[in-house]
A = this chain, B = another copy of it.
Amino acid sequence: MTSPAGEGRTEGALDPAIAARLKRNEDGLIAAVAQQHDTGRVLMMAWMDEEALRRTLHSRQATYYSRSRARHWVKGESSGNTQYVREVRLDCDGDTVLLLVEQTGPACHTGAPDCFEADVLLRPESTPPAA
């Protein structure tokens, strides 16, 4: 089991050159989208503060910030369904990172492979769109 307290004691701060490129929201957070690196499946969306990003880059274990619990969490710290992080990419306006991960087990707390499985609001049309 990963210890968030132990992680917290890791020395250092986020690379200032990276920190300067982040466009945090009013809560100091950026969005983080996790994608399975080989299948392309989009797994989930969560939030990171600077420290969560630092820990993710340092440990390669996806680490987010929970707004409701007001604390960092290592994905899978209780379920074992961790995300090993292969790549991290920052978007053009600096408010979202894309994590390319190797997901262990299901990504969603419901047990689904990803968080977008259950609720389809719009399905493909049976005919292709007009040109």
Q: Which A residues are closer than 8 A to B by beta carbons? A: 18, 21, 31, 33, 35, 39-42, 44-45, 53, 56-57, 60, 84-93, 95-98, 102, 108-110, 112, 115-125, 129
Contact = CB atoms under 8 A, between A and B. Distances in A.
Contacts of A90: 116, 119, 121
Q: Which secondary structure dominates chain A's binding surface?
A: mixed
Copies of chain A in the complex = 2
A83 B122 CA distance: 15
A73 to B, nearest CB: 14
Contacts of A44: 91
Residue with the highest number of chain B CB atoms closer than 10 Å, among A35, A53, A89: A89
A26 to B, nearest CB: 8
